[in-house]
Amino acid sequence: MIIQSTKPSMPNIEEYVEEIKDLWQSKWLTNMGSKHKALESKLIDFLQVQNITLFVNGHLALECIIAALELKGEVITTPFTFASTTHAIVRSGMKPVFCDINPNDYTINVEMIESLISEKTSAILPVHVYGNVCDVKKIEEIAKKHNLKVIYDAAHAFGVEIYGKGIGSFGDASMFSFHATKVFNTIEGGAITYNDSSIAAALSGLKNFGIRNSESVEYVGGNAKMNEFQAAMGICNLRHIDSEREKRKAVVDRYLANLENVDGIRLSNEQDGVRKNYAYFPVVFSEFKMTRDEVFEKLNENNIRARKYFYPPTNSLECYKGLFTVETTPVANYIAKRVLTLPLYADLSLKQVDRICDFIKC
Ligand SMILES: *Cc1c(COP(=O)(O)O)cnc(C)c1O
């Protein structure tokens, strides 16, 4: 049997069928129907945010918030992320300026941000990578001082809190992904959360061809609407999110018990005041007896799929060849060459975790 690196959470099929039944009466399948509205209000409560706008996926949500905030010029971000973060900046006609990451939690190194600010900088786009929380306080300070917008890529951070506050309540906006592989899924899906309710009109317009009303098209928008079947999946999955988090925690605790004191292996630091979502279990093979690639291969030969997540860093992706200098982000380069995320999902058994760790250790 193959152990995949992730497995989507799904409700019982009966629960989902029950949830979508009324769509056969209403025939309202998309365009912000009742499921969409219900999911929005449930997520506002769950994520402890002021406002939310749902999207067909996280990536288009990111492109839409960049457009809604009318960002231009340069955006300071990190290369230790999924291609989406960097692509969203480039596809919006801007230049990503890469800041290095911390060696212990892999989030943006806030001490380096100010040295990267130029007169063209319009925003900072940090990533709560693996659900680890960025230094939101310091980032807010820098943004205020230099009059910059802050958009968080919170694709990994669904349900994360810091000192009791929802992670999506920081910065000007945060993007969540509800892709099948994430902690909470709507099959594909995403959202923007934000404090300033005046952003709502632009986001709603941008995800629906810029349409304001039947005779007025206000923005050059695309189509990025979440449909009713996606929203119904979200409503079902949200009912089980607490037990999902508990099961993931048990898996992570078991990994920790197995790997905490192994020579040459580095694990993420605990963060003060953070309620975690146990989205990923990254392991850095720094001075281990095997290289990262050797561990990856050994697991693979034994039908265990770990992920080189993230490798390569986005500033050295093939499509950006010759555009960026990777020398400016040595820590990101170092981690990207040595990190593996181990299989992690709610139904992964503790026995399987032990087996995975045994292959790593001996
Ligand atoms: C998943 C992910 C995205 C993109 O989200 P989609 O919903 O798949 O479009 C963006 N950034 C990061 C860090 C991600 O992991």
The residue type found at 48 is Q
Q: How many CB atoms lie within 10 A of CB 223?
A: 11
* pLDDT interval class at 176 (50, 70, 90): very high
Cβ–ligand 1 distance for 82 under 6 Å, the answer yes
Per-residue model confidence (pLDDT) at position 54: 98
- The atom number, within ligand 1, closest to the CA of 81 reads 13
- Whether 112 shows a pLDDT value over 90: the answer reads yes
* pLDDT interval class at 202 (50, 70, 90): very high
CATH topology of domain 13-239: Aspartate Aminotransferase; domain 2 (3.40.640)
Sheet-wide strand order for 282-285: 265-267, 282-285, 339-341
Cβ–ligand 1 distance for 285 under 6 Å, the answer no
Second CATH level (architecture) for the domain 241-361: Alpha-Beta Complex (3.90)
Residues of the chain by 3-state class (helix, strand, coil), percent to 5:
40, 15, 40
Mutation test residue for ligand 1: of 177, 280, 341, the one with most atoms within 8 Å of CB: 177
Per-residue model confidence (pLDDT) at position 45: 98
pTM exceeding 0.95: yes
- Looking at residue 342, the DSSP 8-state letter turns out to be P
- Whether 180 shows a pLDDT value over 90: the answer reads yes
* pLDDT interval class at 66 (50, 70, 90): very high
Cβ–ligand 1 distance for 190 under 6 Å, the answer yes
Question: Tens digit of pLDDT for each residue in 70-105?
Answer: 999 999 999 999 999 999 999 999 999 999 999 999
CATH 3.40.640.10 residue ranges in the chain? 13-239
**Average pLDDT for residues 268-284, to the nearest whole number?**
95
Indicate left, alpha or beta for 321 from its phi (over 0: left) and psi (-120 to 50: alpha).
beta
Sheet-wide strand order for 173-177: 51-55, 190-194, 173-177, 149-153, 121-125, 74-77, 95-98
* pLDDT interval class at 325 (50, 70, 90): confident
State the average pLDDT for the chain: 97
Give the lowest-confidence range in 24-33, 87-96, 209-218, 281-290. Answer: 209-218
Question: Tens digit of pLDDT for each residue in 212-236?
Answer: 888 999 989 999 999 999 999 999 9
Å from CA of 311 to ligand 1 middle = 15
Cβ–ligand 1 distance for 179 under 6 Å, the answer yes
DSSP of 234-290: HHHHHHTHHHHHHHHHHHHHHHHHHHTT-TTEEEPPP-TTEE------EEEESS-SS
Å from CA of 220 to ligand 1 middle = 24
- Tokens 């629960």 -> residue: 15
* pLDDT interval class at 326 (50, 70, 90): confident
Per-residue model confidence (pLDDT) at position 146: 98
Mutation test residue for ligand 1: of 5, 55, 59, the one with most atoms within 8 Å of CB: 59
Which of 35, 137, 138, 182 is an active site residue? 182
Å from CA of 108 to ligand 1 middle = 17
Cβ–ligand 1 distance for 155 under 6 Å, the answer yes
- Tokens 């890469």 -> residue: 98
**Average pLDDT for residues 46-60, to the nearest whole number?**
98
- Looking at residue 358, the DSSP 8-state letter turns out to be H
Per-residue model confidence (pLDDT) at position 269: 84
Residue among 139, 106, 134, 154 nearest 332 (CA): 106
Per-residue model confidence (pLDDT) at position 324: 94
For residue 312, say if its preceding peptide bond is cis, omega within 30 degrees of 0: yes
Residue among 35, 34, 4, 57 nearest 237 (CA): 35
What are the DSSP E strand ranges found in 105-219? 121-125, 149-153, 161-162, 165-166, 173-177, 190-194, 211-213, 216-217
* pLDDT interval class at 181 (50, 70, 90): very high
Burial-class residue 262 by CB neighbours within 10 Å (0-12, 13-18, 19+).
middle
Helix axis angle, 350-361 to 292-301, nearest 10°: 130
Cβ–ligand 1 distance for 58 under 6 Å, the answer yes
182 an active-site residue?
yes
- Whether 334 shows a pLDDT value over 90: the answer reads yes
Q: State percent of the chain over pLDDT 90.
A: 97
Question: Tens digit of pLDDT for each residue in 131-164?
Answer: 999 999 999 999 999 999 999 999 999 999 999 9
**Average pLDDT for residues 56-76, to the nearest whole number?**
98
